[in-house]
Amino acid sequence: MLRALRVAFVGIGLLLTAMSVLAHHVVPIYDNNKKISLDGVITAIHWTNPHIWYELEVTDATGKKTMWNVTVGEPNPLHRRGYAKEDLKVGARLVVQNANRAADGSNWVAGGTLAGNGGPQIFNGNGSHGYAAKSNAAPPTDPKIVANPRDFSGLWGQGTGNTDLTQSLLPGEEIVLTAYGAERYKKVDLRNAPVNKCLPYGPNRAGISIAPSMYVQSSSALVMLYEPQIDYRVIYLDGRPNPSDAVRFPTWFGHSTGKWEGDTLVVETVGIDDRTWLDSYGLEHSVDMKMTERFKKTDPNTISVTTTIDDPVFYAKPWTYSYTKRRGEDPEVALGNSGPIIYLMPTYCEEYPVMEHAISTPARHRNPPKMTSSN
C-alpha cells in the first residue's frame, strides 16, 4: 500500500532572483543592469502562488509619493522556512536594496535584498513559525527503499543542474539548431514561456525545476508528482511499448516507458506536446522529438539523470545534458530556491486572478545554441 512520504526539515538560504510577472496585463522583464533601491510603506500584500508581491508607497525628499510593485519569493519555500503572510503587515516599512527594475521602465522591481521595518534582512533565515516547520519533520524514508538502487521512491529536491540547459550540457556536447529552429529561436519572447502562462511544465522543465517532487514506484510504474500546476508523469515499467500513434495524440508529458539496464532505468518518451519548452529560456521542440533519459542512484540520496534530446525538426543533431536530484531528508541536500522539504505542497497559479503567474526569467541563455543558416 502506498503511504504518504514526508521528510525532515533542512535549512537553506533563499535566493531572490529576477522575475517576469504577469499581472494586470503587464508582463515586465527585469534588467539586471538596472539596479534600484527603495524605502517605503507597504500598502497591499499579495501572498499568491507562485510568487508573492507587495505594493509599496515610496515618498521622496520633496514629499512626492510614488507607487511601486515589489516581487519576492514563492509562498511554498517561504512557508518551509517558517515565514507567514503576517510577518510583514500593511503599514510596515520595507527597504529594498539593489533590486532589478523592469526593462520597460515601469515601477516593478524584483530580486535584491529586503529588510522589514528597518530591521535585519528578511527571507534569509527562519521565520516567525519556524518551530512549527521543524515540528512537522517526518521519520526518514524506509531504509530498504533508500538502499535499493532500483527504487526511486521518496521526496526529491534540486541537486545540480540549471533551468538554462546550455549550462548543463555534458562535456563536448553542443546544441545546434536547424534553420527552422534558428528562426524560431530568434523570435522567442520569454513572456510567452508556457510556465509564464500557467501551462503544464512538461517532462524536461519539470525535471529541472527547483520545486520538490515526489516519486512513487511499484513494479509496474514510476509516478512523479510535481508541485507546480499539480502535474504528474507516469513512466510504465511493465514492458509495454510506446503507442505507435503517440505523435498524433501528444500530451503534456508525453508517453514514457522504462527498462532496466543493470541499476540504470532507461526511459524513452515520445508524443510530448510541442507547447512545452525544454527549459526557461526558449529551447522549443516539435511533437516528433524523442527523449531518452537514464536514471541512476549514484548514492542512496542522489539520483543522476542524463537526458538526450533527438528532434531533427529543431536540432541538427542529438544533444545530451544531465542534472541530479537529492533526497529531501538529506541534511546536506542542496535544494536551491525550493526551501527545506517537509511535504509536497501542490500549487495551481490560475486560481489567483490578480497575478496569474510569475517565474524567474533572466534575459537569455548564457551559452546560446549554434545557428544553422537557411541559405
Q: How far is CA 251 from CA 52, 222, 268, in A?
A: 30, 18, 15
Bridge partners of 114, per DSSP, are 96
Average pLDDT over the chain, rounded to an integer:
81
* 190: pLDDT strictly greater than 70: yes
Using alpha carbons, select from 95, 93, 94, 111 the residue that is nearest to residue 34: 111
* 346: pLDDT strictly greater than 50: yes
User: Per-residue pLDDT averaged across 201-223, rounded?
Assistant: 93
Does 96 lie in the same domain as 163? no
Q: What pLDDT sits at residue 340? A: 58
Domain boundary pick from 73, 105, 133: 133
* Confidence band for 338, pLDDT divided at 50, 70 and 90: low
Residue 176: how many other CB atoms lie within 10 Å? 15
User: Does residue 274 fall inside a structural domain?
Assistant: yes
**Torsion region of 312: left, alpha or beta (phi above 0 gives left; psi -120 to 50 gives alpha):** alpha
Does 127 lie in the same domain as 41? yes
Does 336 lie in the same domain as 225? yes
Bridge partners of 39, per DSSP, are 95
Q: What pLDDT sits at residue 135? A: 47
Can you tell me the distance from the alpha carbon of 305 to that of 296, in angstroms, rounded to the nearest whole number?
7
Q: How far is CA 54 from CA 67, 86, 109, 254, in A?
A: 10, 13, 10, 38
Does 108 lie in the same domain as 53? yes
Q: What pLDDT sits at residue 121? A: 61
Q: What pLDDT sits at residue 31? A: 80
For residue 262, give every residue at least 6 positions away whose Cβ sits within 8 Å of its Cβ, in sequence order, or none: none
* 11: pLDDT strictly greater than 50: no
User: Does residue 138 fall inside a structural domain?
Assistant: no
* 27: pLDDT strictly greater than 70: no
User: Per-residue pLDDT averaged across 182-188, rounded?
Assistant: 94
Does 176 lie in the same domain as 38? no
**What is the span of the domain harbouring residue 123?**
20-133
User: Per-residue pLDDT averaged across 31-39, rounded?
Assistant: 88
End-to-end CA distance of the chain: 60
Domain boundary pick from 133, 162, 177: 133
Of the listed ranges 84-98, 233-247, 270-284, 310-324, the one predicted with least confidence? 84-98
Confirm if 145 and 154 have CB atoms less than 8 A apart. yes
Of the listed ranges 108-117, 241-250, 253-262, 338-347, the one predicted with least confidence? 338-347
Q: What pLDDT sits at residue 4? A: 35
User: Does residue 35 fall inside a structural domain?
Assistant: yes
* 245: pLDDT strictly greater than 80: yes
* 12: pLDDT strictly greater than 50: no
Q: What pLDDT sits at residue 333? A: 52
Question: Is-above-0.75 flag for pTM?
Answer: yes
Q: What pLDDT sits at residue 336? A: 47
Does 322 lie in the same domain as 252? yes
User: Does residue 359 fall inside a structural domain?
Assistant: no
User: Does residue 152 fall inside a structural domain?
Assistant: yes
User: Does residue 362 fall inside a structural domain?
Assistant: no
Does 332 lie in the same domain as 192? yes
* 60: pLDDT strictly greater than 60: yes
CATH code for the domain of 71 = 2.40.50.140
How many domains are there within the chain? 2
